[in-house]
Amino acid sequence: MKLFQFLALVASIFAFTLASPVADEAETLQYEYIVVGSGAGGGPLACRLAMAGHTTLLIESGNDQAGNINISVPAYQGVVTNDPKIRWDMFVNHYQNQSRAMLDPKFTWEVSPFVYHVGPNPPPGATPLGILYPRAGTLGGCVTHNALIWITPHASDWNNIATITGDSTWEATNMDQYLDKVYEWLPVKPVSPAILLNDLKLVQHIAGAAEVMGEGPPLIGTAAALAVTLTVDPNSRINPNRDSTEGLFQVPLTMKLGTRTSVRDFIDNTVASGYPLTVRQNCHVTKINFDTSTPPIATGVSFLDGNSLFRASPLSGGTGTPGSATVTKEVIISAGTYNTPQLLKLSGIGPAAELESFGIPVINNLPGIGTNMQDRYEIPVNVVHGSDFSILNGCTFDGKPHDTCLTTWENNPHVFDARGTYESDGIAAAMIQRSNYAANTDADLFIFGGPVDFTGYFPDWNDAIVSDHKHFTWGTLKAHTRNTAGTVQLRSANALDPAVINFNYFDTGTTAGGADQLDLDAMVQGLNQSRAAYKAYNDYAILGGDSFVETEPGPSVQSTADIENYIKERAWGHHASCSCPIGADDNPNAVLDSQFRVRGVQNLRVVDASVFPAIPGVFIQSPIMMVSEKAADVILNG
Ligand SMILES: Cc1cc2nc3c(=O)[nH]c(=O)nc-3n(C[C@H](O)[C@H](O)[C@H](O)COP(=O)(O)OP(=O)(O)OC[C@H]3O[C@@H](n4cnc5c(N)ncnc54)[C@H](O)[C@@H]3O)c2cc1C
Ligand SMILES: *[C@@H]1O[C@H](CO)[C@@H](O)[C@H](O)[C@H]1NC(C)=O
Ligand SMILES: *[C@@H]1O[C@H](CO)[C@@H](O)[C@H](O)[C@H]1NC(C)=O
Ligand SMILES: *[C@@H]1O[C@H](CO)[C@@H](O)[C@H](O)[C@H]1NC(C)=O
């Protein structure tokens, strides 16, 4: 063992002793770095700091769910979002006009704490909540409950930050090294085509999609040809035109040997290797502390120890035990798009008027915190068949003994695809397309398909998507949306209360230059493309799939105006970001400089989904992890 590793081990044992769950007043916790939040942004960064030999405290509100089957089975990506030990039920407003918001059948009411009514006609006395936005309070953050999909960002995402800030280290050519860093610890693999190709009705849908993406017929009618199509990597680093390449693609997932693997495993392995990383779980940070010299210097954090304290958790109710920790170097906030701006505001950094209205002393008036929030829009076209998709035979998604897909997954090794359907996340393939309304040459539509009935998020959505095995979904996800009108505002001065989240969708958000209509047009095109794929399904009747009926939006929704209304009422998102943006020195709404430093204070950075000036790529976990690796490099190497 190298000397520094030995010292690191001693330090970590020492630190672990200090970090006993109950903090008494005599206890002084001091580290070089404190990272708040163990998700895609904070987890890898904390590991890298510790691996470089720095004592690092990683504070996580939730806890480690090691051994919980919900986090390891890829096909349980819906189930896991409903696990009370993990989930944070955040409710958001797509529209502030509540009558308009309630046109969405997913609009949810609180009947009693954590008992919900979804849709119109709530029982008397129910309180309107808005639209469920699943979040994970657990080790590894939302990556521990997400859909595992791994799509790397576009070069334009990085070059845009370089242009805005004048910091050339953000150029795509330089950012590539951070993807290499992520791949040092993150395995990525698509679902084996062999699993998908066992179900000929599924194959028939994929064949239809291949046709409308210009990849069929006649060859594609055979399963063998489809297998070739599905081995095409949408993240190719060899194809120079990758960002604008259209087609039908496999979907890469963050998994190893058919098991979800990601940030929490990196954290576990880093601790097990003896690096000086202390994970303090069941600990909710309530405030960043400052030495109020000029400029103010972050000195540490105050927190509450206790299980599931945040009131978005169905297990909440406890008040916790107060404690604090200090740093000799820096505090890094990685609490996610909603909780990072909330925590900054609670600590006196944010729009002065808002802070004062809650009686919070202003440390630094930064008006951009909790503004500029962005998300993608998503919309499905769903159909129902007369008979089941055979790939789902025996899959009950409930972990009970009759869940034979689970026993197959549990009892077989990862060879010859023997673990079966549950080593997939339910998504069979994706059409990647550039709409006629894209802002640049990048493909901006990701249309994923699978044998589920997915209409977005609402309480128990995970049961609804698989309540029968007869549905199929093609869901459009719009990349590079133009709406920057989302906000995160304090509900109260209590850190355990979730923030107030407004997305201000479509015409209630960014409208300059017809931005809202351009995004809507692209969504309509994606919806049309989904319908075209269903139509092309019928060209492959030879595969024997039975007919279907469209359930969403349904046959009556045909005119462009009707399709647009459908999208505006029901679209959703799940890549919320950009609420503490990096920006230029002369931009008063910039929250961070190009090195993640919070403007106007010292020794404080933000590293998570909130740092982006514009929503990156098609899926967001990969750019966040790349940013996490970049932040480690910036902090360690200047
Ligand atoms: C249902 C769903 C499916 C998704 N699927 C995909 C997908 O397939 N592919 C993809 O790329 N993206 C996906 N995403 C999005 C992606 O997983 C998240 O955007 C990403 O994980 C966010 O990373 P983050 O580090 O910013 O925040 P988080 O992952 O939310 O991490 C923040 C962490 O901070 C902790 N925390 C917060 N406040 C405090 C506090 N005050 N004190 C202590 N700890 C605190 C939280 O418990 C959490 O662990 C999905 C999202 C959802 C909701
Ligand atoms: C998995 O999550 C479900 C909720 O979706 C929950 O009922 C179940 O208890 C969880 N399983 C485990 C092993 O914790
Ligand atoms: C709110 O939304 C409803 C339903 O769309 C609409 O009829 C009403 O005019 C809106 N109110 C305002 C003030 O915009
Ligand atoms: C979508 O389809 C409708 C109906 O077929 C058509 O009128 C409209 O032009 C299409 N819109 C886009 C953006 O592709």
Q: What is the pLDDT of residues 588-617, one digit of tens each?
A: 999 999 999 999 999 999 999 999 999 999
Burial class (CB in 10 A: 0-12, 13-18, 19+), 272: exposed
Q: What is the pLDDT of residues 218-273, one digit of tens each?
A: 555 556 666 666 668 999 999 999 999 999 999 999 999 999 999 999 999 999 99
- Over 70: is that where the pLDDT of 71 sits? yes
Q: Which residue is closest in CA terms to ligand 2's atom 10?
A: 83
Question: What was the pLDDT predicted at 28?
Answer: 80
Q: Could you tell me what percent of the chain has a pLDDT over 90?
A: 89
Domain presence at residue 255? no
pLDDT band at 215; cut points 50, 70, 90: confident
Mean predicted confidence (pLDDT) in 184-191: 95
Instruction: Determine the Cα–Cα distance for residues 230 and 213; give it in Å rounded to an integer.
Output: 13
Among the candidates 570, 595, 621, a domain finishes at 570
| Whether residues 308 and 350 fall in one domain | yes
567 lines ligand 4 (CB under 6 A): no
* CATH code of the domain in which 178 resides: 3.50.50.60
| Residue 157, domain extent | 16-89+137-186+262-371+577-637
* CATH code of the domain in which 460 resides: 3.30.410.40
Asked if residue 452 belongs to a known ligand binding site, the reply is no
Question: What was the pLDDT predicted at 232?
Answer: 81
- Over 80: is that where the pLDDT of 444 sits? yes
Q: What is the DSSP string of 578-624?
A: -SS-B--TT-TT--B-TTSBBTTSBSEEE-SGGG-SS--SSSSHHHH
Question: What was the pLDDT predicted at 226?
Answer: 65
| Whether residues 277 and 420 fall in one domain | no
Question: What was the pLDDT predicted at 9?
Answer: 41
* Ligand showing the shortest atom-to-Cα distance for residue 569: 3
- Over 70: is that where the pLDDT of 217 sits? no
Closest CA to 145 of 61, 78, 98: 78
Residues with Cβ within 8 Å of 369's Cβ and at least 6 positions away in sequence, in order, are 341, 344, 345, 349, 350, 351, 579, 580, 591
- Over 80: is that where the pLDDT of 433 sits? yes
403 lines ligand 2 (CB under 6 A): no
| Whether residues 175 and 106 fall in one domain | no
Q: How far is the CA of 98 from the centre of ligand 3 (A)?
A: 8
Higher pLDDT, 25 or 525: 525
| DSSP-based three-state secondary structure for 424 | coil
97 lines ligand 3 (CB under 6 A): yes
| DSSP-based three-state secondary structure for 153 | coil
Domain tally, the chain: 3
- Over 70: is that where the pLDDT of 16 sits? no
- Over 60: is that where the pLDDT of 11 sits? no
399 lines ligand 2 (CB under 6 A): yes
Q: How far is the CA of 339 from the centre of ligand 2 (A)?
A: 25
141 lines ligand 1 (CB under 6 A): yes
Higher pLDDT, 116 or 10: 116
Q: How far is the CA of 133 from the centre of ligand 2 (A)?
A: 19
| Whether residues 364 and 224 fall in one domain | no
Q: How far is the CA of 528 from the centre of ligand 1 (A)?
A: 31
Q: Mean pLDDT over all residues of the chain? A: 94
Burial class (CB in 10 A: 0-12, 13-18, 19+), 17: exposed
Structure tokens at 543: 């595969």
* Ligand showing the shortest atom-to-Cα distance for residue 346: 1
Question: What was the pLDDT predicted at 618?
Answer: 96
* Ligand showing the shortest atom-to-Cα distance for residue 507: 3
Q: Are 603 and 624 in contact (CB under 8 A)?
A: no
Question: What was the pLDDT predicted at 21?
Answer: 44
287 lines ligand 3 (CB under 6 A): no
Mean predicted confidence (pLDDT) in 370-393: 98
Domain presence at residue 392? yes
Q: How far is the CA of 480 from the centre of ligand 4 (A)?
A: 21
Closest CA to 328 of 133, 603, 620, 635: 603
| Whether residues 127 and 144 fall in one domain | no
Q: How far is the CA of 520 from the centre of ligand 4 (A)?
A: 12
Residue 1: how many other CB atoms lie within 10 Å: 9
| Whether residues 56 and 33 fall in one domain | yes
Higher pLDDT, 638 or 515: 515
517 lines ligand 4 (CB under 6 A): no
Among the candidates 552, 570, 588, a domain finishes at 570
| Whether residues 364 and 464 fall in one domain | no
Question: What was the pLDDT predicted at 105?
Answer: 98
Cβ burial 362-385 (10 Å sphere, 16+ → b, else e):
ebbbbebbbbbbbbbbbbbbbbeb
Instruction: Determine the Cα–Cα distance for residues 46 and 31; give it in Å rounded to an integer.
Output: 12
Among the candidates 519, 548, 570, a domain finishes at 570
Domain presence at residue 430? yes
Domain presence at residue 485? no
- Over 50: is that where the pLDDT of 3 sits? no
| Whether residues 69 and 162 fall in one domain | yes
pLDDT band at 17; cut points 50, 70, 90: very low
Tell if the pTM clears 0.75, that is, is over it. Answer: yes
Least confidently predicted of 4-18, 144-158, 276-290, 377-391: 4-18
Domain presence at residue 548? yes
| Whether residues 243 and 212 fall in one domain | yes
Domain presence at residue 11? no
Question: What was the pLDDT predicted at 185?
Answer: 98
Q: What 3 state SS string does 380-402 have?
A: EEEEEECCCCHHHCCCCCCCCCC
pLDDT band at 417; cut points 50, 70, 90: confident
| Whether residues 385 and 279 fall in one domain | no
- Over 50: is that where the pLDDT of 576 sits? yes
| Whether residues 43 and 157 fall in one domain | yes
Q: Are 472 and 449 in contact (CB under 8 A)?
A: yes
Beta bridge partners of 478: 445
Higher pLDDT, 543 or 175: 175
Domain presence at residue 499? no
Question: What was the pLDDT predicted at 225?
Answer: 60
148 lines ligand 1 (CB under 6 A): yes
- Over 80: is that where the pLDDT of 305 sits? yes
Domain presence at residue 405? yes
| Whether residues 461 and 390 fall in one domain | yes
